[in-house]
Amino acid sequence: MILRHYTHRQFLPAIVARGGISTNLHTESPHSGYLLFELNPTTNQLAQTVHQFYSNSEPPWDETDTVVLDFDFVKLQAAGIEVHKTPHHFADDLAPNQPADSFRFVQSFLSLGYLTEASREQLSEYY
């Protein structure tokens, strides 16, 4: 099982320096304080929604800027990291054509140590 997170390539240096993803990078996010994930994604609906939401942001964000980070959900659970099912009512607004139970949230910070091997390799291509 994976938890997929989308981020802008501009944030990669900070993510690598911190050793994880943080809510500090997405201050204009509608789900402030929580990191948004998609559980076992089967479509790119959330990616499209992310691109729409951030298309007028600074920096602009389109498909070429997106970096996908897949985290191992089983490892997160084994480590006791709290993964929430929709802690707020905003999941319905994220991707209206996708069931809300396909989203998960982690508060504040998540270490890169929980990345899947494939995501680790992808990240190493940048650094």
The tens digit of pLDDT for each residue in 23-64 reads 875 555 555 688 989 999 888 877 777 777 777 777 777 778
pLDDT of 98 strictly over 70? no
- Measure the CA–CA gap between 76 and 107, rounded to whole angstroms: 13
Say what the pTM is.
Answer: 0.81
- Determine the topology of domain 2-126 in CATH: ADP-ribosylation fold (3.20.170)
Listed by start position, the domains of the chain span 2-126
- Measure the CA–CA gap between 14 and 22, rounded to whole angstroms: 9
